[in-house]
Copies of this chain bind each other. A is one copy, B any other.
């Protein structure tokens, strides 16, 4: 059996939000992509606000699972951080898209307050993972020059997100690489 309609809508909506922004797609767009009518989209997600909450919820769970997989696959702090950088590069999709967190952060006014709260929780989760990763890297020596893991974590997430935003604005992934060069040089 093919993917059910609700999942197809979530997938299509996430891609659209990440490439064109939350205001950049409409129920009409989703309907056409999935092959149903506008009214049917409203059956699955009564309002666009409800859709945004569902998207962010799924995104948080997905990324948290991805970080756990990185921890399981990579023993060193340096390798883990490199894996996260790679995830952000992949999300950039050659300069055409952003991660959902950055995309939603830029659409603040159009989103319900619940999504604002979800964004905050997502960033806290990511910074927590980064802090633990820098701590591991400090101990095993695979990340150079770490003195304050919490401060490193608080700086690394905005760097990743800002580099992604700049690269997408120019539709040029090289900008992402330039921004991350310094950090990458610290990894063994």
Contacts and interface: CB of A to CB of B under 8 A. Distances in A.
Contacts of A175: 123, 154
Q: Is the interface of A mostly helix, strand, loop or mixed?
A: helix
Question: How many of these chains are in the complex?
Answer: 2
A155 B160 CA distance: 9
Contacts of A37: none
Given A109-B21, A152-B182, A165 B161 contact: yes
Interface in A131-167: 145, 148, 151-152, 154-155, 157-163, 165-166
Interface of A: 20-21, 23-24, 102-110, 116, 119-120, 123, 145, 148, 151-152, 154-155, 157-163, 165-166, 168-171, 175, 178-183, 185
A169 B109 contact: no
A168 to B, nearest CB: 7
A109 B24 contact: yes
Contacts of A180: 155
